[in-house]
Amino acid sequence: MTTCDFDHLAVIRFSGGYEIGIENDFQVSNPAGQVELSPGVDPDRGRAVLATLQGRTVELAGTDESGGLLVSFGDGTSVHVSSDEEYESWTLAGPGGMKVVCMPGGELAVCSGDES
């Protein structure tokens, strides 16, 4: 992870031009425990927790059967964002206009972006 923002939208930026936008409650877990965060609530705490991810390497990222997002880092830390029945809960954007959006109810909308 390279940088982050935490306000009404939590944003985690990665090298290579990838970015995750989080609009739903989410968890950051590591071997010491789990922290629950809500975008728009206690931004100083949220920024501080996300800042602990800086410099960590993503080992695996994927979705679960309900459309939730799980990002695992090499040191055992993870970020999990559940889907939401009424709202878009997370977005992954990448190079060339690639975008994946977790739609209400957990369905994923995928735009592959440029083919060049």
Task: Compute the half-sphere exposure of residue 86: CA atoms within 13 Å on the CB side of its CA.
Answer: 0
b (16+ CB within 10 A) / e for 8-38 = eebbbbbeeebbbbbbbebebbeeeeebebe
Give the DSSP per-residue string, 4-26: EEESSSEEEEEGGGEEEEE-S-E
pTM for the model stands at: 0.88
Is 104 within 8 Å of 85 (Cβ atoms)?
yes
> What pLDDT score does 7 carry?
80
Could you tell me the pLDDT band of residue 115, with boundaries at 50, 70 and 90? low
Closest CA to 1 of 56, 65, 83, 69: 56
Looking at residue 85, its amino acid is E
Mean per-residue pLDDT over the chain, rounded: 92
pLDDT > 60? residue 116: no
pLDDT at 114 over 80: no
Indicate whether 3 pLDDT > 80.
no
What is the mean predicted confidence (pLDDT) over 73-87? 96
| Averaged pLDDT, 21-42 | 94
